[in-house]
Chain A
Amino acid sequence: MKNKINNVNLSKTKNVLTVDYKKDKIILWLFLSPAFIFILFANIYPICYTIFMSFFKYNKIIPGTVPVFIGISNYINIFKDVVIRESFLKTVYFVAATVIVEFIIGMLLALLITVNLKAMQYLRGFFLIPLMMTPVVAGTLWRTMFDPMSGPINYFIKLFGFQNIDFLGNASRALPSIMVVEIWQATPVVMFILAAGIQALPIDIYKAADVDGASKWQIFTKITLPLLKPVFFVALLLRIMDAFKVFDTIYTMTYGGPGRATELISMLIYKQGLKYFDIGKASTLSVMFLIIIFLISINFLRNIQKKEL
């Protein structure tokens, strides 16, 4: 039932009770405080610590070392470092490639599902499997499957008459193999979100288009896609953010190898900080990473906001 909106501004004050009740305010602050404390100490503080340490040289591997302030030297060194640059590039490549494939397949699946709603009820459970599977398990599982000797994937490849392929041991094939796993795990989410978005579109428009004689392709490109834009972009943002976070699968499948072939930024930071204990360098990398992610998301958010207006 639609609520009559008496005044344009009231749409913002949906839950407003502008009367000032002091007791209520106290209760609300009380409600807010545990979460506030957690976020402050367990989220904001560590980030600040990281930013702070990025200006220091601190290598804990030698016992008894003390952090030494070196200003932005860490940052300068990073810019010079080829390894790090390549890692960033690989990361961006990884994110871009996986997201693009996920969305293409996801869109197709979403269309398939919204056409066949009954099938959806039964298949929904299946699609949750890759999604809900623990990334570590997925990583180890696919490692098993990619194995050149005893893995089923090579078995099928040989069945079709091709040669044995070493996926994870080969520098140029390792990253794509991990991308396959990531796509396998993430496409269902994209599918669900896009399907929900499509289902939320008003049916009347489609009826009108049918009567107007539009072909299926035209309906898709001129009606579905444009109307889906806000949902699409939100899903895109979420997926990109998640793709940057990927760690578990890389760790279990290749640990950054062979060589540095799959050493994405997250892996690099992990190794610097927790293997080599070079806290200064790891912190600097983290900050750079954060900045990049931040820039990308702000850019996206602005685009989404514009579209909504």
Chain B
Amino acid sequence: MLNSDYAKIEDIMAKFKFRKVLGKVLLYILTIFIIIVIIFPFYWLVTTSIKYGIDISATPPIIFPNRFTLENYITVFNSHIGKYILNSFIVSISTTFLAVLFGSLASYSLSKTYIGSKIRNAFLIGVLIVRIFPPVVTTMPYYLIITKFGLYDTQVSMIITYVAYSIPFVMWLMLGFFQELPSEIDRAALVDGCNLWQRFTKITLPLALPGIAVTAIFAYIMAWNEFLYASVLTSQNAKTLPVLIASYISDQRIQFGPMTATGVLLVIPVLLFSILAQKYLVRGLTFGAVKG
């Protein structure tokens, strides 16, 4: 080959390399930008919660505080937050347990077509409807009915409300998980002499455990984060954390300090857990959308 040919090849390769490097640099810049957008608000939340009150309302705002305090947290703990944390926890755990229990059993039934396709379709449509409609719509009936039964401001009413709210979602997820299990294994168990209950407990359940874990995580987080029903149906006794946070906003002023402190307490367990259970969460999120 001629020298000029070599030169041409080198030229092309150089351009190619440049493009590649440029591409990678852009990628890194983009990634950093994304991280900032996501991390900064969280950073702001945490730092505000440990700032002195004066620093919080400082103008211009102090981005990198050089003095910290726990006074906000102390304020918060002095105002019965322990009780509210307990409320949130009890309600969330109970909801998760009941919703996953009832929802999984129901989904298992629906995954077996003995039930007859008409009833099955009716159920599925019902589940879909309930999943789609906005909770605001039922807040009034709930308020009226629950006050009528004298269950206003009780944990029981919260649990019942949340279970009803979560069951369609649980059924949606678990149905998918049950249908994913290979049917031949169920048939093998049948031939091995198992009745329905045995198949369910010895074969289906163990294999569906990951699915149940995902569903439970989501159910818990949904209950923990819920605000609307909690604000409508509780007062002093059964108040949960989200309601507490909103109460720091009044017409006169916003108590940023205690508010962010409570926010941190509310959000940290969820976020920590999410990061630990990443795989499961992403699986659950994408589950309904991607088939296969």
Contact = CB atoms under 8 A, between A and B. Distances in A.
Q: Do A and B bind each other?
A: yes
Interface of A: 3, 13-18, 20-21, 23-25, 27-29, 31-32, 34-36, 38-39, 41-47, 49-50, 53, 109, 112, 116, 119, 123-138, 140-145, 149-152, 154-155, 158, 184, 189, 192-193, 195-197, 200, 230-231, 234-235, 238, 241, 244-245, 247-248, 251-252, 266, 269-270, 273-274, 279, 282-283, 286, 289-290, 293-294, 297
Contacts of B187: 17
B216 interface: no
Given A34-B105, A136-B246, A289 B134 contact: yes
A69 B184 CA distance: 58
Contact of A42 (B164, B184, B259): B164
Given A24-B114, A245-B135, A252-B249, A35 B275 contact: no
Given A15-B186, A130-B38, A132-B270, 15 more contacts: A3-B182, A21-B196, A28-B114, A43-B130, A50-B137, A123-B34, A125-B278, A128-B278, A134-B270, A138-B41, A184-B37, A231-B290, A241-B132, A251-B227, A269-B137
Interface string B223-234: 011011000100
A67 B108 CA distance: 43
A286 to B, nearest CB: 4
B196 A297 contact: no
Contact of B141 (A36, A49, A116): A49
Interface string B191-202: 000011100000
B126 A143 contact: no
B56 interface: yes
Contacts of B45: 137, 141, 144
Interface string B162-191: 011101100100000001001110110010
Interface of B: 27, 30-31, 34-35, 37-42, 44-45, 48, 56-61, 63, 101-103, 105-106, 108-115, 123, 126-127, 129-145, 160-161, 163-165, 167-168, 171, 179, 182-184, 186-187, 190, 195-197, 221, 224-225, 227-228, 232, 242, 245-246, 248-249, 254, 256, 259-260, 263, 266-267, 270-271, 274-275, 278, 281-282, 285-286, 288-292
A150 B56 contact: yes
A3 B184 contact: yes
Contacts of A29: 109, 115
18 contacts: A18-B114, A28-B114, A34-B102, A35-B103, A35-B105, A35-B106, A126-B35, A133-B270, A140-B259, A144-B256, A145-B44, A192-B282, A197-B289, A269-B136, A274-B139, A274-B232, A289-B134, A293-B134
B31 A119 contact: yes
Given A266-B134, A270-B136, A46 B256 contact: no
Nearest to A151: B61
B167 A133 contact: no
A143 B109 contact: no
Contacts of B184: 3
Given A17-B190, A193-B290, A27 B135 contact: no
Contacts of B123: 32, 36
Contact of B142 (A46, A109, A245): A46
Contacts of A144: 44-45, 48, 254, 256, 259-260
A28 B109 contact: yes
A46 B145 contact: yes
A206 B254 CA distance: 54
Main secondary structure of the interface of A (DSSP, over half): helix
A119 B249 CA distance: 39
B260 to A, nearest CB: 7
Contacts of B110: 32
A17 B112 contact: yes
Nearest to A230: B291
A149 B59 contact: yes
Given A17-B112, A46-B141, A238 B289 contact: yes
B41 A44 contact: no
B134 A244 contact: yes
Contacts of A16: 113
Contacts of B248: 140
Contact of B106 (A32, A184, A200, A266): A32
Interface centre among A36, A136, A200, A270 (most CB of B within 10 A): A136
Contacts of A189: 285
